[in-house]
Amino acid sequence: MTERVTPEGPFTLDHVDAIDCCLETVPWLFASDHADAIDAHWATLLAALPKMFNGRVLLQHRGAVEQDDTGRRVYRGAYFEAEFKAFLAWRDFGYPMLGVRNGFAMAALRGSDGGFVLGEMGPHTANAGRIYFPSGTPDLSDLVGDRVDLDGSARRELVEETGLDPDDLDFAPGFTLLHDPVRVCCMKLVRSREPADALAARIEAALARDADPELVRIHVVRGEADMRPEMPVFVTVYMRHMFARDL
């Protein structure tokens, strides 16, 4: 495991009109070559986070932005199935064996006053303490036939993590992509019809009613002063980009 990259970035930023990704059957040499190390790492994680479940996730092995005959920009790519424990080991070992990327969608929730609304992950999760928009690594529930539905993934994660009704929100067309050698973050802008503080209060009330919420608190970001080290770099890059567009 000699090929490693920095944890985050630098990121290339693109806007696309659509995403068209399929599921393919391909071998992942990292998982097969390092099975013992993956199992040992998983055992260590479970000792600290016993609620984690080793389900099946979808990782991307190819993808690129193309322009179709109508002039639309479309991100086309392909995913394969992997065990969650193998994905976590690949991440935690420093992303060895390049050629695979974590391609996921985020619901970039924004209040009517321009403030962004983010959640802080609970201590029982694999990303405890991190602050970002509702999201998750795609899994089998995000498949529609042989297509990976990242738009649906963003909507599903938003509902599951916040309790919000998607009918009360406006989902912008297209996606803003932030990609580096090991990840493709597909930001779906989601606008609320109420201010960020009111939206945050509504989400926190839903969290209080949830017996086992993924999030422990909500953060509102209106500018640079509200950004925190616990926010992934691709999240802060995206918000800075959007705030600059507001000027």
The answer to whether position 46 is within a domain reads yes
Q: To which residue do tokens 């993956």 refer?
A: 38
The answer to whether position 5 is within a domain reads no
Q: To which residue do tokens 């993934």 refer?
A: 153
The answer to whether position 22 is within a domain reads yes
Tokens of 90: 């690949």
Give which of 142, 175, 157, 217 is closest to 19, Cα–Cα. Answer: 175
Q: What is the pLDDT along the chain (247 residues), one digit of tens a residue?
A: 434 455 677 889 999 999 999 999 999 999 999 999 999 999 999 999 999 999 999 999 999 999 999 999 999 999 999 999 999 999 999 999 889 999 999 999 999 999 999 999 999 999 999 999 999 999 999 999 999 999 999 999 999 999 999 999 999 999 999 999 999 999 999 999 999 999 999 999 999 999 999 999 999 999 999 999 999 999 999 999 999 999 7
CATH number (domain holding residue 44):
3.90.79.10
Q: Is 119 exposed, middle or buried (0-12, 13-18, 19+ CB in 10 A)?
A: buried
Q: Which residues contact 108 (CB under 8 A, 6 or more apart)?
A: 116, 133, 176, 187, 188, 189, 190, 238, 242
The confidence score (pLDDT) of residue 10 equals 83
> Phi and psi at residue 135, in whole multiples of 5°?
-170, 175
In total, how many domains does the chain have?
1
The answer to whether position 84 is within a domain reads yes
The answer to whether position 228 is within a domain reads yes
The answer to whether position 6 is within a domain reads no
Q: 200 lies in which domain range?
A: 12-246
The answer to whether position 3 is within a domain reads no
The answer to whether position 104 is within a domain reads yes
